[in-house]
Structure 1
Amino acid sequence: MNKTDRLLALILELQRQHTIRAEDLAASFEVSVRTIYRDVQALSEAGVPIVGTTGNGYSLMEGYFLPPISFTVEEAATLLIGTSFIDRQFDDAYRDRASAAGKKIEALLSDNVRSETSRIRGSMRLLDPYDQKALPHEKENLRQIRQAFSEGRKISFDYSKKNADSADSDPGRRTVAPYGLVFVEGAWMLVAFCDLRRDIRHFRLSRMKELTRLDERYELPAQFDLRAYIPADDRRLRIVLRFQPTVADEVGKSGYPYMEETHEVPSGLDVVLRVRRPDEVLRWVLGWGADVTVLEPKSFRERIREEAQKMLERY
């Protein structure tokens, strides 16, 4: 990053953070603290009202705002692709706002940049695993949860788990305090404190029904950070598979999320999966047909055999 770009980025960082230390700016831009001191001096001499407070850091004088700046082709394409994602996966309110934001961004672009940005967007397509938009009731759940989170209100809903052998499979009404929303593997998940389980639980929005916002209030724990949150790993079932050499390379590069270990063997590739329930990987294993053999556990071998027998009977 050259000095001019760094000075602009420094103003934007101050505008975003309000107050930030020279040490943190130096770490962010990968320069020395002395360089930050010189940059701040240069900006001050150029008329940017930067205030320095011992022990706190730098801040912009209240009321100062950087005028609109131009976007590069890559920056504009990135922002507009983001609006396309919101159009597919968010509720109507955010979709409308994304559309309005996209129009404002395009209005700022020069003819050349707008044309090139359009060409780049035309070469990309956002797909979820099944090339489907979020279901209408899922989007409504998303809207309700966003509203509840902003108001600090609990929600209640009927919830059904896909797998009946789950510890949380009992049907019925749930009351939870929303902690955050996560988009994973093409689906929205709610991270929330469940009153029934007295612990943090995860709920798929597509499986929620009759969701309502309650009058009961809650406060998000000060120590909870969704960006740093890592759920406890309760995948205790170990499944070992052996793949034929003809598909070993494809399997190894698949990036399958339940894959824990791989080992090359003379007869192919051994893969260790770590899951909560066999149903989580049943379809994936069946999808490899005769190119995979279940080595363990025996119960999963039997399950695959039963499924194969049902398929044979249908054909």
Structure 2
Amino acid sequence: MNRIDRLTAILIQLQGKKIVKAAEIADRFEISLRTVYRDVKALQEAGVPIGAEAGTGYYIVDGYHLPPVMFSKEEAAALLTGEKLMEQYSDHSNQKQFGFAMQKIRSVLRGSEKDYLESLDENIAVLRSRPKYPEDESFPNRFLTDIQQALGMNQVINMEYFSFQDEVATRREVEPIGIFHMRTSWHLIAWCRLRQGYRDFRVDRIRKLQVTSTIYKRDDRISLQDYLHREKSRNQGEMFLIKIALDNDILRYIREQKYYYGLMEETTEGDKTILTFLQPSLEYFARWLIVFGHHAAIVQPPELKTVMQGLITELQDHYF
């Protein structure tokens, strides 16, 4: 990227946030902090009202705006891909809002970019690994936009939540700390005032939701990143170092699977490949390993062999 393009991109980045740290600019454009300082100074000398707070970052003075930004065809194609993902992996509220945003984006595209998008539209598809569940009127699945508002404004949420585990619906008042998407569902992490603790709520299990006018103190709660890190550490517990020897001609069948089971290292020794995994459950790993039959051999630990023998005995008792 030449310097003129970089200066324009830095200006757009500054307009996108209230405060932007110099390190953020350096990381995005892979430049040194000294270069960031020179670029910002060049923008200031060109008349752009950029302010700076020591130890905090740069900001654009209120009231200054760039003219409407034009999108390249590559950027427009990336946004189209995002729209396809939203259609499959978001709820009704976010799909609707993203659709409105895409209409605005399409309206400012040049004619050639519009034609380019139309030609791509029918040739890009996002397929879910699992099919969507049938629509259920009792779970409208349209609350993500409201939850995002509550997160941004530190507002308490009042909701009716159905637990499939207990098969009961309860009324909850919660203080949201973040949302994340995992597998096929969006999750709301919040401090539950009823249970007096942090809880993980599946968004598609919320029957009713209202964002209240009550404001909670965000500093009293942990961040989403801290919560996820804590849960990851809690769930790891004891970890087992596992080594197996697998026939080389089997490797092509587990290109992606091996990473799901905690692959750490892979080395080839003749017609075998030694795979090293870190796994919290020997039984979980054994149920995957048994699929490969005599094409796999356990190097370590010996406890895994015992688990495999138990599974084989279980199968033998079942089928013979």
- Normalised to the residue count of structure 1, the TM-score between the two structures is 0.70
Once the two structures are overlaid, the 10-residue window that deviates more, 7-16 or 113-122, is: 113-122
8 Å CA contact 1:148, 1:154 repeated in 2? no
1:71-82 alignment runs, 5 A limit:
71-82=71-82
Once the two structures are overlaid, the 10-residue window that deviates more, 104-113 or 226-235, is: 226-235
Q: Tell me which residue corresponds to 1:302.
A: 310
Residue 52 (structure 2) pairs with residue 49 (structure 1): no
8 Å CA contact 2:159, 2:210 repeated in 1? yes
**For residues 45 and 135 of structure 1, what CA distance do their matches in structure 2 show?**
57
Q: Tell me which residue corresponds to 1:164.
A: none
SS in 2 for 1:66: coil
Q: Tell me which residue corresponds to 1:101.
A: 101
**For residues 201 and 209 of structure 1, what CA distance do their matches in structure 2 show?**
14
Once the two structures are overlaid, the 10-residue window that deviates more, 177-186 or 244-253, is: 244-253
**For residues 172 and 298 of structure 1, what CA distance do their matches in structure 2 show?**
41
SS in 2 for 1:71: coil
**For residues 69 and 75 of structure 1, what CA distance do their matches in structure 2 show?**
12
- Gapped runs of 5+ residues in structure 1? 162-169
Q: Tell me which residue corresponds to 1:88.
A: 88
Q: Which of 266, 274, 280 lines up with 2:279 in the alignment?
A: 274
- Gapped runs of 5+ residues in structure 2? none
Change beyond 3 A, Cα 1:141–1:299: farther
**For residues 2 and 239 of structure 2, what CA distance do their matches in structure 1 show?**
52
Change beyond 3 A, Cα 1:271–1:159: farther
SS in 2 for 1:232: helix
> CA offset at residue 76 of structure 1?
0.8
Q: CA RMSD in A?
A: 4.4
> CA offset at residue 259 of structure 1?
2.1
Task: Give the number of aligned pairs.
Answer: 302
Q: Tell me which residue corresponds to 2:179.
A: 181
Q: Tell me which residue corresponds to 1:126.
A: 126
**For residues 7 and 313 of structure 2, what CA distance do their matches in structure 1 show?**
65
Once the two structures are overlaid, the 10-residue window that deviates more, 92-101 or 20-29, is: 20-29
8 Å CA contact 2:141, 2:206 repeated in 1? no
Residue 12 (structure 2) pairs with residue 4 (structure 1): no
Q: Which of 188, 191, 200 lines up with 1:190 in the alignment?
A: 188
**For residues 195 and 211 of structure 2, what CA distance do their matches in structure 1 show?**
18
As a proportion of its length, which structure holds more helix? Answer: 2
CA-to-aligned-CA distance 1:29-77 (integer Å, 9 cap, x gap): 4445554454345434544333456676543232111111211111111
Change beyond 3 A, Cα 1:123–1:105: same
CA-to-aligned-CA distance 1:166-199 (integer Å, 9 cap, x gap): xxxx676675543222112233233334568765
Residue 259 (structure 2) pairs with residue 256 (structure 1): yes
- Normalised to the residue count of structure 2, the TM-score between the two structures is 0.70
**For residues 266 and 52 of structure 2, what CA distance do their matches in structure 1 show?**
57
Q: Tell me which residue corresponds to 1:65.
A: 65
**For residues 7 and 258 of structure 1, what CA distance do their matches in structure 2 show?**
44
> CA offset at residue 267 of structure 1?
6.5
Amino acid corresponding to residue 274 of structure 1 in structure 2: Q
8 Å CA contact 2:70, 2:108 repeated in 1? yes
